[in-house]
């Protein structure tokens, strides 16, 4: 027992991981004060300056250069700062704390579920509007249920699982860069006509980063109740969704709980045709609470598994 504790204590990466989770649990960053919000606003201002060409190829080039301009200087600064800090573990801890976020998602879910239970559409729209890109004004209770469930699923997938995965791969810098890449993709989402095709390079980059962690997390969700039916729907439906990582995650949750996800969505007045995913039950307040419970337990299992794998790897090293 003492040897195991000494090994854990000497493993700085695991200490940083559990330290960040503990700090985030006790004192999370408010969503409004999170650096990702400032990053998002700066990305939109940059796009207003450089996303001015209607030519497809030129817009793609502008989007690629803007993506590089946002991310590579920050990566260079972080790499240069790391050797200068007094305690490298504290540097890693700070970056992981800035990258990870599930408490704000839980807070949103609790408020959103309460509004949906009261059938208070205006309150539900007000809560979800800052988080999603689609237009909220025309959303019915059914549309709000789908939007809320999809938002909750992708928030857990990217702001927790994706961050933890890339922390295991490349430390705090990789986790923070992943989170900022996700925020760029959201800011320049080509689902909105003014960012198509400008935002396609950012979306493709995140699709590559999401490919492994979101698929593996989808497998975590598939295991257990309705595993066979969920696996069958994964084979049938994932090809109809444009991004492979989110497709696996959305289908696995929708199939697991038999919830209807996807379908048409309106972005800045334009209707986007999206495939229908999952089952046939329209998500209501109780279903969104079930989604949160399912994701939270799978997230806990992921953290335990990742800790064991990291401990084994460091012990081997």
Q: Give the model confidence (pLDDT) of 107-136 as tens digits.
A: 999 999 999 999 999 999 999 999 999 999
5 falls in which pLDDT band (50, 70, 90)? very low
At residue 269, the pLDDT reads 82
Looking at residues 159-188, what average pLDDT do you find?
95
Query: Distance between CA 52 and CA 74 in Å, rounded?
Result: 25
At residue 84, the pLDDT reads 86
Looking at residues 224-240, what average pLDDT do you find?
91
Q: Are 185 and 203 in contact (CB under 8 A)?
A: yes
314 falls in which pLDDT band (50, 70, 90)? low
pLDDT at 229 over 70: yes
Closest among 169, 171, 209, 164 to 67, alpha carbons compared: 209
57 falls in which pLDDT band (50, 70, 90)? very high
2 falls in which pLDDT band (50, 70, 90)? very low
Q: Are 11 and 5 in contact (CB under 8 A)?
A: no
Q: In angstroms, how far is CA 225 from the centroid of its own chain?
A: 25
Q: CB count, 10 Å around CB of 147?
A: 23
Q: Are 86 and 106 in contact (CB under 8 A)?
A: no
Mean per-residue pLDDT of the chain: 90
87 falls in which pLDDT band (50, 70, 90)? confident
pLDDT at 316 over 70: no
Looking at residues 197-223, what average pLDDT do you find?
96
Closest among 46, 8, 2, 15 to 184, alpha carbons compared: 46
13 falls in which pLDDT band (50, 70, 90)? confident
At residue 7, the pLDDT reads 47
At residue 31, the pLDDT reads 80
């Amino acid at each position: 027992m003492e040897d195991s504790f000494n090994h854990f204590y000497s493993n700085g990466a695991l200490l940083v991981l559990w330290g960040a989770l503990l700090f985030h649990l006790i004192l999370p960053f408010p969503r409004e004060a999170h650096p990702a919000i400032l990053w998002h606003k700066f990305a939109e201002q940059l796009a207003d300056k450089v996303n001015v060409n209607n030519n497809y190829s030129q817009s793609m080039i502008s989007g690629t250069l803007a993506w590089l301009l946002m991310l590579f200087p920050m990566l260079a600064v972080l790499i240069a700062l790391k050797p200068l800090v007094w305690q490298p573990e504290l540097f890693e801890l700070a970056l992981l704390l800035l990258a990870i976020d599930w408490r704000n998602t839980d807070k949103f879910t609790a408020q959103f579920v309460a509004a949906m239970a009261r059938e208070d559409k205006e309150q539900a729209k007000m809560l979800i509007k800052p988080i999603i890109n689609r237009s909220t004004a025309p959303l019915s209770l059914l549309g709000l249920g789908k939007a809320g469930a999809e938002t909750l699923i992708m928030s857990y997938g990217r702001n927790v699982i994706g961050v933890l995965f890339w922390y295991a791969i490349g430390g705090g810098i990789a986790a923070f860069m992943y989170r900022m890449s996700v925020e760029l993709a959201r800011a320049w989402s080509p689902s909105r006509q003014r960012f198509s095709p400008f935002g396609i390079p950012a979306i493709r980059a995140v699709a590559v980063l999401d490919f492994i962690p979101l698929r593996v997390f989808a497998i975590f969700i598939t295991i257990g109740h309705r595993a066979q039916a969920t696996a069958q729907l994964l084979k049938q439906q994932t090809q109809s969704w444009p991004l492979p990582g989110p497709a696996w995650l959305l289908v696995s949750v929708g199939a697991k709980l038999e919830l209807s996800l996807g379908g048409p969505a309106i972005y800045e007045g334009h209707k986007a045709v999206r495939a229908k995913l999952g089952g046939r039950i329209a998500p209501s307040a109780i279903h969104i609470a079930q989604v949160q419970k399912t994701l939270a337990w799978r997230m806990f299992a992921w953290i335990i598994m990742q800790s064991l794998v990291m401990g084994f790897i460091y012990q081997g090293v």
